[in-house]
Structure 1
């Protein structure tokens, strides 16, 4: 169990409230201590002035005046010790019956003493304590509210920045983090947003440049590859000619796939939506498909066929038979009974030119990449998983309203 909240908003609020509480308590203790000291000093001064008057009057009249007593038996022992030798002293006495402020002086071998109640000053101190407690609670509550408001504003800006950054990462090129959270000069959140926008712009330019290079290379290769295909077809029948035609076909397929990936990378591809009975669509292409309560969806049949074909080819190349296709509702599931997907593929998703077995020469690792990209154009959700009883499983969930 965490004793401290994870959210920056509540952490900031807790820190502000804690600091405010510590300061309020420290200031209250300081005020109380100083008030108590001033009260006692004032009471001692008053009693000292009174005992001086008593001593002066006793020297003139021989009587104890102003309520004083001569050689009283209840004078505190510490006070008697303090006035021994002709001195004058004051003393604060606290008992269960109450508090008293004493003053005494020794003259002619006698001790003159007088006593005044100190309860009124204790009452004033208690009233001050109550006021300080209320004030401290008020400061704590006010600081907590202020911390929540300040932390909320900061947290709100940071969350908006995080949401905007995710949208930028998902490919929204029209959005900037700075425009989403607003420009506040001198604000650290604004500086962070500008830094993220600058980084996103630099990465976007780099990706666009790489995509352009890939597309240009594939386009330039298309013409000589077409010539190679034509030349291979003119070769006289022989085993070497068959090998040449096979490798030229693989090269042509690779160039076409690279061109398709380059087009999909531009994020300008648009699906041509028509009503498609999903069960019939899959059954015509995979007669062994298991269809259960399939729906009619609006999708692009050409792109959906490309997704299905790529998934089937991937299952046949890297899995083991039987390859089972299941259609239910708006969902297509393609499953093989091979070793399943690698952990890094499930974690990071398909990567270009990465195959399940790098030692195998059939396939160039673009099948799943194209399937994922085409599914994205269709607004479909393509999920990779490993079945519980073995084998790779790919689920294509088509949207109800693209």
Structure 2
């Protein structure tokens, strides 16, 4: 078996096909041989029974014992029987009383019960039929025998044909199986070659299987789907790398520029102090960006385990909205809370604060003046849904599927300047926090209705 496992799949399939077919043909050959042999013996037994019944017509009582009488009813039939069969007339003790045969050398058979049996006499196989007879009040036994040479000759011929035909059939089946296995595995070879030709820089190739939707077709479709996901993942990673480099380069460039200007000539102490303050702001921005990246990486890799507890929603949002009222007032945005009492979440309080602060800050930031941000909550059997809706603001539909990706920002947002747009990690962090709690974060946006973020989170007690 170890040697077989090292063969190519095509050869292994052919070997297994051939072995299974060989076992089937062997069983079928044995069945045919047994049925032919049984049929031939049944014919011999029928002939022996008929011969015994015809010979019985010539049995008579003479000189105090049973004998084949020449004056029987059908002497011609007895003569024909003597040419084809050996007929014995026995006493109840097994003594031969008379015989009917054209052969001078008669075989010797031991006493036999009634019925048919195969016996061997002097190396030859005979089929023997025995029956008890009673003539004129005298009992005896009639034995009809026929040599099995014709039957054995027929069986030997059949054995030769089977032994010759079986290897030939297996050879043809092996060749046909090898060809069919090659055709069946041809799409697999194509899949292998396509997969080998794909590299990180060449992810646009696809198998594009045009055959039936069988196991191989489903495999090809699965591989194409996997390649689609890989290409999308590589595209996200490339975009993430470019965006991360851009976000890191901006404060580093500002730091480098301020250092260069400051060092270009001697300056008053106040200028140095102002430069250090600006540099501290850029360093803080780098620290926040780095911390956000590390935090989201830990969430994605499931290294951060939330400390779960029951959190009362009304008190949580009461404190959060109090922190944001000054920001909302500065932008002329109204904050509305529509939360039912007795609503509890099951989660990590620190992570939940970060999740909802990101959503609320994002909603306030992108709500036009005189707009409104509304927080609503509802509960079902297992989950609590917190909806944060802002009016008079919408997101183009083509951007909605990408809002929760790292560093993704709507194109208009990238042009707003350094102070307003952020790094594009807030929604990605919020999405990962919801996922870490076994929940989900979704978004809907409509030019007439505004934008709504919904956080689906486990319900508390």
User: TM-score, structure 2 length as denominator?
Assistant: 0.46
- Looking at structure 2, the residues matched to 207 and 172 of structure 1 have their Cα atoms a distance apart, in angstroms, of 11
- For structure 1, the residue ranges without an aligned partner over 5 or more in a row are 83-88, 252-402
C-alpha contact (below 8 Å) 1:9/1:154 kept by paired residues:
no
Match of 2:419 in 1: none
Contact 1:161 1:177 in 2 (8 A): yes
Aligned with 1:175: secondary structure? coil
C-alpha spacing 1:226/1:149, structure 2 compared with 1 (3 Å): same
Shift in Å, 1:223: 4.3
Separation (CA, whole Å) in 1 of partners of 2:238 and 2:130: 100
Contact 1:75 1:113 (8 Å CA) reproduced: no
Q: Alignment partner for residue 123 of structure 1, among 144, 153, 164?
A: 153
Structure 1 pair 43/24, CA: closer, same or farther in 2 (3 Å)? Answer: same
The equivalent of 2:255 in structure 1 is: 228
Change (3 A) 1:111 1:220: closer
Pair 1:170–1:228, CA change in 2 (3 A): closer
Change (3 A) 1:221 1:3: closer
Aligned to 1:8: 9
- Rate the CA distance shift 1:172–1:214 in 2: closer, same or farther, 3 A: closer
* Residues in 2 aligned to 1:166 and 1:186: alpha-carbon distance in whole angstroms: 23
Are the structure 2 counterparts of residues 147 and 78 from structure 1 closer, same or farther at C-alpha, using a change threshold of 3 Å?
farther
Q: Residue in 2 aligned with 1:46?
A: 47
What is the CA distance between 1:17 and its match in structure 2? Answer: 0.8
Equivalent pair of 2:203/2:227 in contact (CA under 8 Å)? no
Q: CA 1:116 to 1:186, structure 2 compared with 1: closer, same or farther past 3 Å? A: same
- Identify if the C-alpha distance between structure 1 residues 225 and 48 changes in structure 2 by more than 3 Å, giving closer, same or farther: same
Pairing of 1:135-284 with structure 2 (within 5 A)? 135-178=165-208, 182-233=209-260, 234-235=262-263
2:118 aligned to 92, 99, 105, which one?
92
Q: Which has more radius of gyration?
A: 2
- Cα deviation digits, residues 323-347 of structure 1 (max 9, x gap): xxxxxxxxxxxxxxxxxxxxxxxxx
Give the structure 1 partner of residue 416 of structure 2: none
Query: CA 1:5–1:113 in structure 2 vs 1: closer, same or farther (change >3 Å)?
Result: same
Aligned positions, number: 237
* Deviating 4+ runs (over 6 angstroms): none
Q: Distance in 1 between matches of 2:178 and 2:25?
A: 18
TM-score by length of 1: 0.52
Contact 2:204 2:231 in 1 (8 A): no
**Structure 2: gaps (5+ residues):** 61-68, 97-106, 287-461
1:70 alignment partner in structure 2: 89
What aligned pairs does 1:320-399 form with structure 2 within 5 A after superposition?
Answer: none
After superposing the two structures, state which structure 1 stretch, 145-154 or 187-196, moved more: 145-154
Question: How large is the RMSD of aligned CA atoms in angstroms?
Answer: 3.4
Higher fraction of strand: 2
Alpha carbons of 1:225 and 1:118: their partners in 2 closer, same or farther (altered >3 Å)?
same
CA distance in 2, matches of 1:75, 1:91: 14
Report deviation, 1:187. 2.4
Q: Secondary structure at the match of 2:201?
A: coil
- Specify whether residues 187 and 205 from structure 1 end up closer, same or farther in structure 2 by C-alpha distance, changes over 3 A only: same
